[in-house]
Structure 1
Amino acid sequence: MTTEATLPSTSASPGARQVWTRARGVALAVVLLLAGAVAIATIRSDTRHGNLDPRSADPNGSRAVAELLADHGVSTRVATTLTEARASAGPDTTLLIAVPDLLTPRRQKQLHAATAGSGGRTVLIAPGSWSVERLAPGVVADPATSFGSALAPDCALPAAVRAGRADTGGIRYTALHTGADECYPSDRLATLVRVPDDTGRGDTVVLGAPDILFNKRLDKQGNASLALQLLGSRPHLVWYLPSLADTSRTDTDDEKSLFDLLPAGWLWGTLQLSVAAALAALWRARRLGPLVPEELPVAIRASETVEGRARLYRKADARDRAAAALRSTTRTRLAPLVGVPVTQAHAPEALLPALSAHLRGDGQSLHALLFGPPPGDDAALIALTDQLDALEREVRRP
């Protein structure tokens, strides 16, 4: 009875467990990146958060103002594009521009052209000097900012008189327009200005600070009263929050290259870092000359070396090199057995006659086996290996 021994597998193909062990780190990193991207997108897409957003219940949001206006019959609609803001201008609409300074000069001019003479009200929240010149001509912003929240109205504007003291500090303005109302002065300059239009039906209100619209400040002083009167004079309120498309400087007059936007210090810093990186690469370089063989610090089993080299040959599809290695090793072992010096083991004229005399075989078949062309496929390579083993066993047989 013959028992067939089961040899350990030496397959070069990695198994499923090995593939998972190698790839699980990359898979985990990809999953974490995707989870982070989804979380960031969710947070950014949540419209309930944002400064001066009538949908936001955060301390710096303005949802409380919108709800109070709704109780008084004033509808509030959010606009995020310049097209929506321009289309909403009309005698029954109040247009609030939350952050005027984010708009480009060209878009500011387009917005003013749409609101001028419409008969509605335009409310500008803390516009700077270069913004107020385009959105409210005739109003000049003072470069110095006032700090002091509660200010007295000190004017004849009915809304300010009824509201009393309010948190209107911030940017201060001077109105050059005849008939303009200047209220809540700080150091003799107004922090709230109302300028009527040429038709006398509409007006523009410039507010130096957004504090009276914040949820956290609405119940202080006369903030709620002033906000309701300024924003509730018309049945419809359009709350314009400029989007990225309206704030990007795509106008031909404002086009700048990336290098124009970078400060000079950044350019010099980048150059210095590049030089430092090049010097560090030269300093840390290890292979500035030819490779030098190095003794291995530990012993490696021959089977592991053979298996590793076989995997490399298989991965590179190098059957010719594998066949050459097998034939060379076989010739080296056969030469001493048939009386041929090892130095002449790879010479056909010295090795083949000795082998033919020893085996009394055909020299042509031995030449094809030991010095023939490389095999054409894996099956031929395996057959060559078996034939070389059989030849060596035959030579060693007594």
Structure 2
Amino acid sequence: MTAPGAPDPRTPAPAAAPQPGTATAKPPGAAPGTALGGITPGVAWRRSRGALICLGILLVGAVVLAALGSGSRHGRLDPRSADPDGSRAVAELLQARGVTTRVVTTAREAAAAAGPGTTLLVTDPDRLGETQRRDIRSAIDLSGGRTVLLAPGVVSLPDLAPAARTKGDALDENLDPGCALPAAVAAGRATTGGGHRYAGGATGTACYPSGGHPTLLVLPSGTPGGDTVLLGSETLLLNKQLASEGNASLALQLLGSRPDLVWYLPSLTEVQDEDPAQEKGLLELVPRGWGWALLQLFTAAALAALWRARRLGPLVTEKLPVAVRASETTEGRARLYRKAGARDRAATVLRTAARERLAALVGVPPGQAHEPAALVPAVSARLTDRQQDLTALLFGSTPTTDAALVALADHLDALEREVRTS
């Protein structure tokens, strides 16, 4: 009988799966210790090198960005920072004039340090939560010193300077004093524009007007000798702008009128701890610029993956360079079925091939070879022992063991021999 799984001897067909424990020979030329179909280190490297290269590019980019971002220990308007956006220059000039600068990061520390002989500088009033604004307002009312608010807006003005309100932004950066305030007169033209303008405060002194509204407003506080300075722009305190115009003179006079300067840098942690409503999401905490950098890295990785990806096209048949015997093909397919435990697939192939050959022997049309109503009676008529359950044999369930699969192949072989000889 021709091996099951082939319509005729010229076509390869899978042999019955071997019994468990039956030894099988490795294909000629297989490397020692390498299973059939195994992946060698060279193949694994060729398949994964594209992903590894992309991962390496991402890691290198992350390290470079981290190195670039770690050059400065302090942030914007920090008196300890020598970066262009830091304020170390003005702090050193104040120190040379005998003014002591103390950096604090909480509103409670700032309020506790404020007094008649201190100047309290709040670098970002709009970042403060409700609790922090109350502490700073208490220091303004009770300390008797000077409080300088850098670019306060609609968020902080109602609590810290209720007599004033914002009137839009100043378009011009360098402005003339336009007032009789001694500090402004001595400094002359300064970079106070580019930020907020203010209105209100009939008892205060308005300087450096832009479009009819001041960018520097000095308001008296509730305690004699104290005052509050609203500075619409923080630019003049930055290292990169301190030497321009009369910025240095104005900064020294505004911040150096008392022997002690309390430099309050509001921290994001303080605001979140005191005011849960101010909490921000993870993406909002990512430093500016990192989002674009990560987007560029992921875009580069995606383009590299598309460039190096395997192009999958339609299957193409090609002739083998050597002739392979049908028995070898059958044995190879049987080993694959056994390795995968595919008894259902093997049984289906065996029964399908047997039905097609039996249909040709008993005269059943090929289109009805897989119909029990047409094939079973025709085959049964050619048998001497008609008690055999041909339906279960030709169209039955999947064998549950390898032994049952081998038995199925034997029964199909015996059935075909009997039909041929009848």
Contact map agreement 2:115 2:143 (CA 8 A) in 1? yes
The CA distance in 2 between the partners of 1:145 and 1:367, in whole Å, is: 95
* CA offset digits 1:116-171 (Å, max 9, x no partner): 323343211223356434321223443462525142464244x4454444333354
Residue 228, structure 1, aligned to residue 249, structure 2: no
CA, structure 1 residues 238+382, in 2 after alignment: closer, same or farther (shift >3 Å)?
Answer: farther
The CA distance in 2 between the partners of 1:25 and 1:57, in whole Å, is: 43
Say which SS state the counterpart of residue 195 (structure 1) adopts.
strand
Residue 204 of structure 1 is matched in structure 2 by 228
Q: Counterpart amino acid of 1:75? A: T
Residue 182 of structure 1 is matched in structure 2 by 206
CA, structure 1 residues 176+115, in 2 after alignment: closer, same or farther (shift >3 Å)?
Answer: closer
Residue 170 of structure 2 is matched in structure 1 by 145
Say which SS state the counterpart of residue 116 (structure 1) adopts.
helix
How much does 1:197 deviate? Answer: 1.8
How much does 1:217 deviate? Answer: 1.7
Gaps of 5+ in 2: 1-24, 280-313, 321-325
Residue 282 of structure 2 is matched in structure 1 by none
Gaps of 5+ in 1: 256-295
Q: Structure 2 matches for 1:1-398, cutoff 5 A?
A: 6=27, 11=36, 21-29=46-54, 32-33=57-58, 47-48=72-73, 51-71=76-96, 72-77=98-103, 79=105, 89-91=114-116, 93-103=118-128, 108=133, 111-128=136-153, 131-143=156-168, 145=170, 147=172, 149-152=174-177, 154-157=179-182, 159-170=183-194, 171-174=196-199, 176=201, 178=203, 180-186=204-210, 189-232=213-256, 233-241=258-266, 243=268, 246=271, 299=317, 319-333=343-357, 336=360, 341=364, 347=375, 350-351=378-379, 373-377=397-401, 379-380=402-403, 383=406, 387=410
Contact map agreement 1:104 1:246 (CA 8 A) in 2? yes
Contact map agreement 1:153 1:165 (CA 8 A) in 2? no
Deviates more, 1:8-17 or 1:148-157: 8-17
The CA distance in 2 between the partners of 1:306 and 1:19, in whole Å, is: 29
Q: Counterpart amino acid of 2:265? A: Y
CA, structure 1 residues 140+327, in 2 after alignment: closer, same or farther (shift >3 Å)?
Answer: closer
Contact map agreement 1:183 1:192 (CA 8 A) in 2? yes
RMSD: 5.3
CA, structure 1 residues 14+167, in 2 after alignment: closer, same or farther (shift >3 Å)?
Answer: same
CA, structure 1 residues 105+73, in 2 after alignment: closer, same or farther (shift >3 Å)?
Answer: closer
The CA distance in 1 between the partners of 2:206 and 2:26, in whole Å, is: 103
Say which SS state the counterpart of residue 142 (structure 2) adopts.
coil
Contact map agreement 1:93 1:121 (CA 8 A) in 2? yes
How much does 1:333 deviate? Answer: 3.5
Contact map agreement 2:376 2:390 (CA 8 A) in 1? no
Deviates more, 1:190-199 or 1:209-218: 190-199
Contact map agreement 2:356 2:369 (CA 8 A) in 1? no
CA, structure 1 residues 240+246, in 2 after alignment: closer, same or farther (shift >3 Å)?
Answer: same
The CA distance in 2 between the partners of 1:201 and 1:47, in whole Å, is: 38
* CA offset digits 1:214-234 (Å, max 9, x no partner): 222211233212212322324
* CA offset digits 1:18-71 (Å, max 9, x no partner): 555555545555555565566666666765575434344443332322333344
Contact map agreement 2:170 2:211 (CA 8 A) in 1? no
Q: Counterpart amino acid of 1:320? A: D
The CA distance in 2 between the partners of 1:93 and 1:310, in whole Å, is: 92
CA, structure 1 residues 60+251, in 2 after alignment: closer, same or farther (shift >3 Å)?
Answer: same
CA, structure 1 residues 387+103, in 2 after alignment: closer, same or farther (shift >3 Å)?
Answer: farther
* CA offset digits 1:89-123 (Å, max 9, x no partner): 55555332333345567864564245432334321
Larger % of helix: which? 1
Contact map agreement 1:54 1:239 (CA 8 A) in 2? no
Deviates more, 1:344-353 or 1:127-136: 344-353
Contact map agreement 1:88 1:238 (CA 8 A) in 2? no
How much does 1:369 deviate? Answer: 6.8
The CA distance in 2 between the partners of 1:146 and 1:173, in whole Å, is: 14
CA, structure 1 residues 154+297, in 2 after alignment: closer, same or farther (shift >3 Å)?
Answer: closer
CA, structure 1 residues 143+370, in 2 after alignment: closer, same or farther (shift >3 Å)?
Answer: closer
* CA offset digits 1:238-284 (Å, max 9, x no partner): 23245388499x788x99xxxxxxxxxxxxxxxxxxxxxxxxxxxxx
How much does 1:206 deviate? Answer: 1.0
**Number of equivalenced pairs:** 343
**What's the TM-score once normalised by structure 1's chain length?**
0.61
Say which SS state the counterpart of residue 68 (structure 1) adopts.
helix
Q: Counterpart amino acid of 1:214? A: L
The CA distance in 2 between the partners of 1:35 and 1:314, in whole Å, is: 47
How much does 1:213 deviate? Answer: 0.7
- Identify the structure with bigger relative contact order (alpha carbons < 8 Å, sequence gap 6+): 2
* Percent sequence identity over aligned pairs: 41
How much does 1:319 deviate? Answer: 3.2
CA, structure 1 residues 77+107, in 2 after alignment: closer, same or farther (shift >3 Å)?
Answer: closer
How much does 1:370 deviate? Answer: 5.6
